[in-house]
Amino acid sequence: LAGLIPGLLPPPGLSPVLQGAATGLVLLLGFALPPLLQLKDVPALRVIRRDVGPPRQGALAVYILGLAAVFGLLLWHAGELRLASYVFGGFAAAFGLFAAIAYGALRLIGRFGRTGSVSWRYGLANLLRRPRANAVQIVAIAVGLTAILLLTMIRGDLLDAWRGRLPPDAPDRFLVNIQPEQRQPLAEFLERNGVKGLQTFPMVRARLVAINGRPVGADDFSEERAKRQIEREFNLTYLSALPADNKLSEGAWFGAEDIARGAVSIEHWIAERFGIRVGDTLEFLSAGRSFSAPVTSVRKLDWDSMRPNFFFITTPAMLESFPASYIASFHAPAGDALLTLRLSQAFPNLTVIDVSVILRQLQLVMDQLIGAVQLVFLFALGAGVLVLYAALLATQDERTHEAAVMRALGAKRSQVLAAQRAEFAVLGAIAGFLGSLGATAIGWTLATRVFQLDFIWNGWVWLAGPALGLACIVLNARAGARAALSRPPMAALREVI
């Protein structure tokens, strides 16, 4: 990861090694210990006669103990019960949904896949003989594919959707610390440089100290973000008209009576976080002076507008007597790379924030972090491939016997290989389809529910998923298929008779 993470990193310690070893050991014991303990109850006749089934009384304990181990590890690494519960519940729901779809797909294919060549029909019959084990293999591959597709293809679609929401003339420069006497000279300077109609907003720094006469502090809130926000100063502004990018969700904008007595409008997330409603009275402290006003409206802000937004807006008379600086934003003319330099030289006290540079740097950091995360999820995909390989080894004797019977009955080597390829191809296609489905579903949820974006449907995801699934399963299964055909039919049959 040295090429992805710039700068010097401290030397690795022993703690990550011990944590990794402990995680692997707990998972191994959680899932492997119950079956090992069951070996003492396996009858001796089972070793000679394969038709004598093993005891199944403790089968449920395997899953309960294994899931308990997984949840315990999540709680250990997350350090928070709620987060661990969300992650565990999400993975459990995904595994359950994937397993149900995989099991149903296998049943459906078996019902409608009775036509075609002998090899094709035999391969599908093999799938139906082990539907539960095959469903587990499909889920293991599908989860890894979901993560890979989400980070490689869906991520780009989300970024494109966000960029598409920004208008071409969206502001890309912010000006902070504008003094009152600089407003007119600044507007004239920018107009000479191709920026017209500069709008400035006054800012007064104040702390929220009471709600309905009751003092508030960090101890009054359980959410960490609310604790941090209540302890710092907010940037308040005063306006007579509702900003174009603000939409009222509750109450009404300032009327004549509100302007005369004083009122405040609050952003809806802050209102929910602090438990503030229309009609509540808020008290602020600024520069040693306190003032209070009733809440008359709640607003939803368009943060994608790239224009100044404020959590609290008051009527002008309330804050005009307080010391204030101004903030503004504008879109720099294309091709004028030196405008920021000339602006800083003409107004040295201003803080000029170039959003375009910040966004490019943020994109670079995101790409680096996602590249590192992709490498981690490749291990998850590799773990799924190992699950498949372990399942192939567990059924190796059965497959060798089946191949021997088919060849003894006259089937060609190519027909046996074709049957096994058909079986593995269906497994890979289903796993790839589920990976595409999972990545698309998560991407849609993030776009529409979290980021409030229009989701862009990417057809390549539905092609890449099955292709990767086929590659993971078919290539991995070649060794198992060839091993089943490497022994002469008579030698394989004598071991069973």
Predicted local confidence at residue 479, as pLDDT:
60
Q: How do 234-238 and 312-314 pair as beta strands? A: parallel
Predicted local confidence at residue 232, as pLDDT:
92
Predicted local confidence at residue 487, as pLDDT:
61
Predicted local confidence at residue 319, as pLDDT:
92
Reported as a single tens digit per residue, the pLDDT across 377-422 is: 677 667 767 766 776 666 666 667 677 777 666 767 777 777 778 8
Q: Would you write out the chain's pLDDT as a tens digit for each of its 497 residues?
A: 555 555 566 677 788 788 888 888 887 887 777 777 777 777 766 666 655 555 555 556 666 777 888 888 888 877 788 878 888 888 888 888 998 999 888 888 877 666 777 777 877 877 787 788 788 888 888 887 887 888 777 777 777 777 677 777 788 899 999 999 999 999 999 999 989 889 999 999 999 999 999 999 999 998 888 899 999 999 999 999 999 889 999 999 999 999 988 999 999 999 999 999 999 999 999 989 999 999 999 999 987 777 899 999 999 999 999 999 999 999 888 777 788 889 999 999 999 988 877 777 766 776 776 676 667 767 766 776 776 677 666 666 666 767 777 766 676 777 777 777 888 888 889 989 998 998 898 888 888 887 777 788 888 889 988 998 888 777 666 665 665 566 666 655 555 55
Cα(439)–Cα(461) distance, integer angstroms: 8
* The model's pTM: 0.65
